[in-house]
């Protein structure tokens, strides 16, 4: 049995929740530790109670202090002996201190948490002291005299002495007096002895905000690498006749050999290169580093170093970078004598090392452009140009009325051109009042908006009447729908030699220059979200202007472990191989893993994070084969485009927060020959909640920013703007280094998803059928009720119907209760893992070769005229069936109009008289009686049915429609 005692001093609390029904609380504290439970007294009607009580626990074992938490619950007493939880907390073992340490009397603030499931809110704060002591400590304290006790008491701060006094100091009413006296003594002691004799270790807490998340690199498997950083060398030996050397460094371990760049004509070269050698490729006991002089025939030896692998130090982040050191070069064997020094550092690390992304890696072929990188999509803006009018235009030809139009061109990565209609004006001041929309990308340093006024001279011939260039840096930005002031811009003309001479003469004479002008309203819209991907699986919905962004609601962590079972994608040097890399996109952030060469089961083990602003978004992950690597012969391998291996989409709203998902996803690709599975990718996904209330609130917010609803775009503009945004993203990412290839970006953004596909049309039709199948099932169930196939069920339905008719206020509560019960029952059958692309839903395995060939046929078609004619005829047949369905729908709707438009006088007369009689009957007879009679009639037994259509349906089908007037 241990002689240790644990003391928990309950000092006071603040800002407790009022839970007694009277706007206050009668609080007490209950503490549990080591299978013991103690409590304080109850402080009635106080939201900021003061206890100052000591609760002493007997510690059964010394190890319990280092392992067990102290559980603290704060309750309020209510009438009838009941109690409600105000808050709870756990004290970690590191906060338990020795009783004779100075920090043992420093109050510990503990935030109280509510245990309400998803809304784990914090309300109130409790201040405590926690310390322990042994039996020998008690004996020493009892043997001390009164004088020593007084000396000790004067050395203790006022807070400590107040807590030692215990509950009795409050009970006898001497709290204020004692506290004031001891504060004076404590002040004298602090000025002298405390500054000299305070040798105790003081416990502190890490300063971290409540909303900060702890980032952990725990989703991926740790991979060991040998890192070699070659910095520079000095004082190397001269090996060339020119009085210098061309040094380079060779790093060798086992069968792995790699070289740095050659520094020509330099005896003090600087390389600054890092190499990362995978642990599974280290097949030797020593690391050899040799400095050579590059020669045409044979390299000359400059020096040598050797490190034993077992003696190389390990480094783990967040340790600082290992400092490079100077090493003297040694001679080896029959080589010439070494001279000089080399600066380098060698350590064992993992892929989490900050040097890893910049290192030349052994499993990536030592190539610098195969490293992992992070890319950011350009910040896109909608550019709105309103062309109002032009004034004082100069016609291109005399005695001719020009047909004027305005052509606006924006070259922002890709050229975008819009044009107004042709207008003729006798006063040469045409007016258009047309709105043109573009997509612009930051930065705007060299971007101009070219505006030209054109005169239509013929079918394909225009002449420029004036032009102006407007820099985008000068265009105002707006984040809401406030009006922007229009401006006049002067138009310049194309000048010949005569016009130039006239301008010079006017300038000499001091005459003002006459110029035409155009009236424009131009602004950059920051309140919209620029759509650069399909809205069905968009990954970002934020507006362009950062001032409108809301704080993130969650954090997404993705671990790209590796792939398995990949099929060979190409042939290099006479053998099949695959050089796989992975690309992930969420929001504007793109990540690219390193390329693992010559592996059908590559291992990346890279982890990335994103801030999540909307949970109803989609993460896209794609796997590709790198076709831009060099072969041994130095020639490019087949093709210039990276081949697609597969893609995975994960909707974040299907993930549970704070849960780690680890799954293998099939890599499915649809090709002309059919659907293929090219392997599997292993992903680990975790969605960490930052603010649970905000993530719930996001479901009540609009999907797009407010400007999309306050001032929406025309439907015809949306698709053209989306295509322009996609082209800009493709061009900007292709200009990065290393680039994200255009074919990769197009595949990730699904640029071709809006093209016609017979397969997708059928799949969407079956999706609609599946949605309406529940309605069809409900109608079938109701028909069975009407046919009395189960008399007991029909009687129960009639009974329920009578109750709802007689008490209509129960209809909505019954409906919502039924929805709640269905949802609760379906919770048992919820998906256990994120959904993936469904081959059966997409009809990818049910499409024939002709349909797939048509889907992959580009625009314009490259097929023969006979093939195009057959496909056109098939499309006409499908369109004909759709046309008949639309016609039938129009007929039924027109029959409703025919009830009152007197196209059929007899039918309208019957309907009008029926309405009159129904109105009189409803005024006389209570509604409940009519509803009950209607229900009884609808659910009458089969013996009272004749099997013929009802009279209202017969009457409706005889009403006229406009189909008989169609040509």
Tokens at residue 206, please? 């890490």
Q: Are strands 477-478 and 516-525 parallel, antiparallel or unpaired?
A: parallel
- Closest by CA to 713, choosing from 724, 698, 727, 700, is 724
Burial 414-441 (b: 16+ CB within 10 A, else e): bebebbbeebeeeebebebebebbbbbb
Alpha-carbon distance of 844 to 852, in angstroms, equals 9
Q: Which CATH class is domain 380-525?
A: mainly beta
Give dist(CA 763, CA 829) in Å, integer: 25
Q: Which residues pair with 831 in a beta bridge?
A: none
Alpha helices in 129-257 (DSSP H): 135-143, 146-155, 158-165, 168-171, 175-190, 193-197
Q: How many residues does the chain have?
A: 967
The encoded tokens of residue 102 equal: 């100075």
CA 527-530-536 angle, 5° bins: 120
CATH T-level fold of 5-197: Immunoglobulin-like (2.60.40)
Q: What is the pLDDT of residues 819-847, one digit of tens each?
A: 999 989 988 888 888 888 888 888 888 88
Nearest in space to 214 (alpha carbons), one of 606, 609, 558: 609
Q: Please state, in angstroms and as integers, the Cα–Cα distance from residue 732 to each residue in 375, 384, 449, 729, 890, following that order.
A: 10, 22, 19, 5, 48
Domain 224-366 in the same topology as domain 5-197: yes
For position 152, what pLDDT does the model report? 35
Residue with tokens 């004692």: 178
Helix (H) or strand (E) holding 650: strand 643-651
pTM: 0.71
d(CA 65, CA 69) in angstroms, rounded, equals: 8
Tokens encoding 315 = 């480094």
- CB–CB of 451/440 below 8 Å? no
Helix or strand (DSSP H, E) at 294: none
Tokens standing for 164?
């030692």
Residues of the chain with pLDDT under 70: 1-2, 21, 80, 114-122, 135-199, 202-216, 412-413, 495-514, 630-639
Query: Pairing mode, if any, of strands 36-39 and 660-671?
Result: unpaired
Pick the CATH number of 224-366 from 2.60.40.150, 2.60.40.10, 3.40.50.1110, 2.40.290.10: 2.60.40.150
User: Quick count: other Cβ atoms within 10 Å of Cβ 884?
Assistant: 10
Cα(627)–Cα(637) distance, integer angstroms: 6
**HSE on the CB side for 41, CA within 13 Å?**
16
How many CA atoms does the CB half-sphere of 949 hold within 13 Å? 8
Gap between the Cα atoms of 513 and 510, Å rounded: 9
Cis peptide before 761 (omega within 30 of 0): no
H/E segment holding residue 519: strand 516-525
Question: 87: which strand partners?
Answer: 74
Q: 535-630+637-753, superfamily in CATH?
A: C2 domain (2.60.40.150)
Strand partners, 410: 416, 449
Distance CA 963, CA 229 (A): 83
- For 351-492, where are the E strands, in sequence order? 360-361, 373-376, 380-391, 403-412, 414-419, 423-424, 431-441, 448-456, 462-471, 477-478, 487-491
Do the Cβ atoms of 86 and 16 come closer than 8 Å? yes
| HEC sequence for 293-328 | ECCCCCCEEEEEEEEEHHHCCECCCCCCCCCCEEEE
Strand residue runs (E) in 573-642: 575-577, 580-586, 589-592, 603-612, 618-625
Give the three-class secondary structure for 962.
Answer: helix
- Report whether 383 contacts 302 (CB < 8 A): no
Q: Which residues pair with 674 in a beta bridge?
A: 671
Taking the CA atoms of residue 737, residue 741, residue 742 and residue 745 in that order, the dihedral angle to the nearest 10 degrees is -100
Which among 936, 414, 462, 489 has a CA at the least distance from the CA of 721? 414
Please state whether beta strands 270-278 and 325-328 pair in parallel, antiparallel, or not at all (unpaired): unpaired
> What are the φ and ψ backbone dihedral angles of 137, each rounded to 5 degrees?
-70, -35
Contact yes or no for 363/226 (Cβ under 8 A):
no
Alpha carbons 873 and 867: distance in angstroms, whole number? 10
CA distance 877 to 873: 6
* pLDDT value of residue 503: 63
What's the number of CA atoms in the CB half-sphere (13 Å) around residue 558? 30
Helix (H, G, I), strand (E, B) or coil at 455: strand
pLDDT at 16: 86
């Amino acid at each position: 049995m241990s002689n240790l005692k644990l003391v928990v001093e309950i000092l006071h609390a603040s800002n407790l929740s009022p839970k007694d029904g009277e706007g206050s609380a009668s609080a007490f504290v209950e503490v549990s530790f080591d299978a013991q439970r103690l409590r304080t007294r109850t402080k009635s009607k106080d939201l900021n109670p003061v206890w100052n009580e000591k609760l002493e626990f007997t510690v059964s074992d010394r190890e319990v202090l280092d392992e067990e938490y102290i559980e603290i619950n704060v309750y309020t007493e209510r009438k009838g002996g009941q109690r409600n939880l105000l808050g709870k907390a756990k004290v970690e073992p590191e906060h338990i201190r020795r009783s004779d340490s100075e920090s043992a009397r420093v109050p510990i603030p503990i935030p109280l948490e509510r245990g309400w499931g998803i809304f784990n809110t914090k309300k109130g704060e409790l201040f405590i002291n926690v310390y322990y002591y042994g039996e020998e400590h008690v004996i020493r304290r009892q043997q001390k005299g009164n004088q020593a006790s007084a000396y000790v008491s004067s050395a203790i701060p006022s807070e400590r002495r107040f807590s030692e006094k215990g509950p009795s100091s409050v009970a006898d009413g001497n709290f204020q007096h004692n506290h004031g006296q001891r504060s004076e003594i404590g002040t004298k002691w602090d000025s002298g002895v405390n500054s000299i004799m305070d040798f105790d270790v003081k416990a502190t807490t890490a300063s971290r905000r409540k909303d900060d998340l702890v980032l952990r690199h725990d989703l991926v498997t740790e991979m060991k690498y040998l890192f070699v950083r070659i910095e520079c060398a000095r004082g190397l030996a001269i090996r060339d006749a020119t009085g210098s050397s061309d040094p380079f460094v060779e790093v060798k371990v086992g069968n792995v050999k790699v070289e740095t760049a050659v520094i020509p004509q330099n005896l003090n070269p600087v390389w600054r290169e890092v190499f990362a050698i995978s642990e599974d490729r280290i097949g030797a006991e020593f690391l050899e580093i040799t400095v050579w002089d590059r020669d045409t025939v044979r390299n000359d030896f400059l020096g040598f170093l050797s490190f034993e692998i077992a003696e190389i130090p390990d480094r783990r982040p967040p340790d600082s970078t290992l400092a490079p050191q100077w090493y003297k070069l040694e001679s080896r064997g029959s080589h010439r004598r070494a001279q000089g020094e080399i600066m380098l550092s060698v350590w064992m690390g993992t892929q989490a090392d900050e040097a890893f992304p910049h290192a030349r890696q052994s499993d990536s072929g030592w190539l610098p452009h195969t490293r992992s990188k992070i890319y950011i999509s350009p910040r896109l803006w909608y550019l709105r140009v309103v062309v109002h009018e032009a004034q004082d235009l100069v016609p291109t030809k005399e005695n001719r009325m020009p047909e004027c139009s305005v052509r606006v061109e924006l070259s922002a990565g890709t050229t975008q051109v819009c044009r107004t209609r042709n207008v003729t004006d006798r006063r040469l001041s045409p007016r258009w009042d047309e709105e043109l929309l573009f997509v612009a990308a930051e930065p705007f340093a060299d971007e101009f908006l070219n505006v030209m006024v054109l005169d239509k001279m013929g079918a394909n011939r225009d002449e420029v009447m004036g032009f102006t260039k407007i820099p985008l840096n000068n265009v105002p930005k707006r984040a809401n729908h406030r009006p922007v002031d229009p401006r006049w811009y002067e138009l310049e003309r194309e000048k010949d030699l005569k016009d130039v001479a006239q301008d010079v003469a006017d300038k000499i004479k001091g005459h003002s220059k006459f110029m035409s002008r155009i009236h424009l309203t131009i602004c950059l819209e920051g309140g919209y979200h620029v759509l650069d991907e399909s809205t069905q699986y968009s990954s970002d919905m934020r507006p362009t202007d950062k001032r409108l962004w809301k704080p993130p609601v969650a954090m997404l962590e993705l671990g790209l472990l590796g792939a398995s079972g990949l099929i060979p994608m190409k042939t290099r040097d006479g053998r099949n191989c695959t050089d796989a890399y992975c690309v992930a996109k969420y929001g504007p952030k793109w990540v690219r893993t390193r390329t693992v060469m010559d592996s059908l089961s590559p291992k990346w083990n890279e982890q990335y994070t994103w801030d999540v602003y909307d949970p109803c978004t989609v993460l896209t992950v794609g796997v590709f084969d790198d076709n831009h690597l060099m072969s041994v012969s130095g020639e490019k391998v087949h093709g210039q485009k990276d081949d697609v291996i597969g893609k995975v989409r994960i909707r974040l709203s299907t993930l549970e927060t704070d849960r780690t998902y680890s799954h293998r996803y099939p890599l499915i690709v649809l090709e002309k020959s059919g659907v293929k599975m090219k392997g599997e990718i292993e992903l680990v996904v975790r969605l960490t909640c930052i603010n649970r209330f905000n993530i719930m609130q996001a479901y009540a917010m609009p999907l797009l920013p407010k400007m999309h609803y306050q001032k929406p775009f025309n439907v015809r503009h949306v698709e053209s703007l989306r295509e322009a945004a996609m082209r800009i993203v493709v061009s900007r990412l292709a200009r990065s280094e290393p680039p994200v290839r255009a074919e990769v970006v197009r595949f990730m953004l699904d640029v071709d998803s809006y093209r016609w596909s017979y397969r997708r049309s059928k799949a969407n039709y079956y999706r609609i059928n599946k949605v309406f199948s529940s309605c069809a099932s409900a109608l079938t169930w109701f028909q069975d009720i009407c046919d009395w196939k189960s008399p007991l069920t029909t009687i129960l339905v009639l009974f329920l119907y009578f109750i709802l008719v007689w008490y209509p206020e129960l209809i909505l509560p019954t409906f919502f209760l039924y929805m709640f019960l269905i949802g609760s029952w379906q919770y048992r059958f919820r998906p256990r893992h994120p959904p993936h692309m469904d081959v059966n839903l997409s009809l990818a395995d049910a499409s024939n070769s002709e349909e797939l060939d048509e889907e992959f046929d580009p625009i314009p078609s490259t097929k023969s005229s006979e093939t195009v004619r057959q496909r056109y005829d098939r499309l006409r047949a499908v369109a004909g069936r759709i046309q008949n369905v639309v016609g039938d729908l129009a007929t039924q709707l027109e029959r409703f109009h025919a009830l009152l438009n007197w196209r059929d006088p007899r039918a309208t007369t019957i309907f009008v008289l029926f309405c009159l009689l129904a109105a009189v009957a409803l005024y006389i007879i209570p509604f409940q009686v009519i509803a009950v009679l209607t229900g009884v009639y609808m659910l009458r037994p089969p013996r009272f049915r004749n099997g013929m259509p009802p009279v209202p349906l017969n009457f409706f089908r005889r009403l006229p429609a406009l189909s008989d007037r169609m040509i």
